[in-house]
Amino acid sequence: MSIVRIWEYLQASGIYVWGALAVLLGIERIAERLFPAFWKKHLDTWSTPERRRQILIGLALAAFVIGNFRAFDAERQAKEQAIAERHKPPLDPTVLYQDGFPVATVLEPQTDVGANTISFPAVTASRNLNLAKEFEFRSWKLLCSGDPTSVMSFGAARQITYPNFLCRIEGPR
């Protein structure tokens, strides 16, 4: 997977490497011509012009590859997320979900936008709800609290009711 992503990146940005190198080498030549005394006294004693050119090309390539790969990778992740969102099935507006699975049905939700909460007069589930994890409801992520008060069993089927189930809206789903 990573090799494919790197190959796609190289195909998409390969032409820009030559443009970046030309600009950086041009800047070095201009600085060498504008400040010849400084250049000969300080830089030529430390490194030859050919060695400086090799270092400059290496640094330019490294910076270009790192910067562009980060941009490419962020754009690719955004594209993959958009595709995943497009193929995500719509949620039933009367069901609470956890980790993408339906866990409970709800009755008459009441939203308080000012307090950023949703309250449900009753929530019915077939098993105890994990209140430590986030719930998904319509287009929100919720953190909820409530206590089960009645448990009804019909053979193997079980119904647990949570009255006055209060949830805080954490953000969009």
Identify the band that residue 105 occupies on the pLDDT scale cut at 50, 70 and 90: very high
How far is 114 from 112, CA to CA, in rounded Å?
A: 6
Query: Residues 128-148: what's their mean pLDDT?
Result: 89
AA identity, residue 59:
L
Mean model confidence pLDDT for the chain: 82
| pTM, full prediction | 0.49
pLDDT surpasses 90 at 135: yes
Helix 2-34 × helix 49-87 angle, to 10°: 140
Nearest to 121 by CA among 132, 141, 105: 105
Identify the band that residue 14 occupies on the pLDDT scale cut at 50, 70 and 90: low
- DSSP per position, 59-97: HHHHHHHHHHHHHHHHHHHHHHHHHHHHHSPPPPTTEEE
Identify the band that residue 30 occupies on the pLDDT scale cut at 50, 70 and 90: confident
